[in-house]
Amino acid sequence: MTKQTLARWLAALGLGLALVGAPTLAHGAPAPTPSPTAAAEASPAARPSSDAQQRQRHYAQREAASPRAADFKGNGVGVYIGGSTLAVVLIIVLIVVLL
């Protein structure tokens, strides 16, 4: 097997793997249609649930307990390299080394 043949096989394999899930992603799921009674009950003016009110009170207490949190300024220095990025770089390096 020559380098050209290997490169063609790798390119075809990469393209095939990239396009495997394309039809599923493009199709999507149909949106459910709400019933008229559910639409009337879920009006925007509806009162928030007690769980939501408890969370709001909890966050308000936390904010009141630490007023210095409002002055926080992040340093903005940081680069995140995820596993997918490392995998892509590794594959590219292997292809370059093999060819």
Other beta carbons less than 10 A from residue 60's beta carbon: 10
What is the reported pLDDT for 6? 87
Pick the closest to residue 99 from 2, 3, 8 (CA basis): 3
What is the reported pLDDT for 86? 92
Q: From first to last of its 99 residues, what are the pLDDT tens digits of the chain?
A: 788 888 888 888 888 877 776 776 676 667 677 666 655 555 555 555 688 888 899 988 888 888 887 787 777 777 788 899 999 999 999 999 988
Rounded Cα distance, 31 and 42, in Å: 17
What is the reported pLDDT for 48? 55
